[in-house]
Homo-oligomer: A and B are copies of this chain.
Amino acid sequence: MEYKIALIGCGTVGRGLLEILDRKREALRDDHDFEARLVAVSDKVKGSICVPAGIDIPRLLDLLGRGEKLEAYDERRSERTEIGDPLDMIEKCGADIVAELTPTDIRTGEPAASYIRKALRAGMHVVTTNKGPAALYYRELADLARTNGVQFRIEGTVMSGTPVIHLFETGLAGNDIREIRGIFNGTTNFVLSKMEEDGLDYADALKLAREAGYAEADPTADVEGFDAAAKVLILSNVVLGGSLSLEDVARAGISGITRTRVQAAKAANSRYKLVGRARVVGGKIEASVRLEKLPLTDPLAGVMGARNAMAIETDLLGTVFIQGPGAGKVETGSAVLSDMLAIHRGLAIRSS
């Protein structure tokens, strides 16, 4: 079964996805009966391209690798459909699935939310890795998808490719989820790990995180807990059925931590972690992100470096713990692919 795919945003994750779709073309067809025809890409910086007959992915990746604009894609003018911004692309590209991969604005969810609404109304499935729409508008967008007979999927928004949304949706279906605790930000976990393992100061560990490509030039979103809070908000609203806003997540970051405190915890067989937490207490959801001193026997304490993890308290299974990557080009691309395959499974069952 072939799907016409359109990408909004073609940064790291978009390129990761394209590499996977290209590399796995045969396996996806043979093992999953899934074929992707890339028909359009629109990116704020890199421009846009729409070729209904299909864009050659290796040629497109080459062009992006050379820093060229998407318009430079070599195709006869008659084969192309002229498109402008993402809203224009959605109108003209005729895609079956839109992958919305733009950067997060956690305050407004825009412009991603507008793109997603338009695509869903046009009867296109949407997969996003953008935390904004997932955190702020999940229920509205999921309802809109249902009304239009399509899916709205968000695997890549919480733990990159580590498939926690699928886990809640399928394997844990039927369980009441009582509490979710997790390490949801790889940058801060890398910093804390380096402070303990190498005895570094906070500033030096953060510098190392920057050099390793984990931290941005402005690390505020990570170190002040905003990124983790966005993920806790998604889990609260999507998994626990809440309707919280970002202000409802009590938030503290790691920027106050000292080497002395980290080393004192180590001497006491414990470890500081930036823990995101969402739990149901008396029918209400309590959500927080804060530095917690965990005993080494806590499975979250064993998660080192840039990895992410989640401990899920359920009524039937007790604690289920999952650990995996929390970021990465190919890893997040894998999340998008897993959502595309979920869409395909739904359709494949329907049409069988």
| A interface residue numbers (CB < 8 A to B) | 20, 24, 27-28, 32, 149, 155, 161-167, 169-176, 299, 302, 316-325, 330-331, 333-334, 337-338, 341-342, 345-346, 349-350, 352
CB-defined contacts of A324 to chain B, threshold 8 Å = 317-321
Give the CA-CA distance A334 to B323 in the complex, in Å: 22
CB-defined contacts of A338 to chain B, threshold 8 Å = 170-174
Give the CA-CA distance A321 to B334 in the complex, in Å: 16
- Cross-chain contact of A175 among B165, B322, B334 (Cβ < 8 A): B334
Closest B-chain residue to A149, C-beta based?
Answer: B352
CB distance from A346 to the nearest CB of B (A): 5
Would you list the 5 A-B pairs with minimal beta carbon distance, nearest first? A163-B171, A166-B171, A316-B334, A320-B324, A321-B323
Give the CA-CA distance A323 to B254 in the complex, in Å: 28
CB-defined contacts of A337 to chain B, threshold 8 Å = 173-174, 316
CB distance from A225 to the nearest CB of B (A): 24
- Cross-chain contact of A166 among B28, B167, B322, B330 (Cβ < 8 A): B167
- Cross-chain contact of A162 among B161, B302, B317, B349 (Cβ < 8 A): B317
Give the CA-CA distance A350 to B316 in the complex, in Å: 29
CB-defined contacts of A28 to chain B, threshold 8 Å = 174
Are B32 and A173 in contact (CB-based, < 8 A)? yes
Give the CA-CA distance A165 to B24 in the complex, in Å: 22
Are B316 and A330 in contact (CB-based, < 8 A)? yes
CB-defined contacts of A317 to chain B, threshold 8 Å = 161-162, 324-325, 331, 334
CB distance from A50 to the nearest CB of B (A): 25
Are B320 and A322 in contact (CB-based, < 8 A)? yes
Are B174 and A334 in contact (CB-based, < 8 A)? yes
Give the CA-CA distance A343 to B173 in the complex, in Å: 12
Give the CA-CA distance A212 to B292 in the complex, in Å: 33
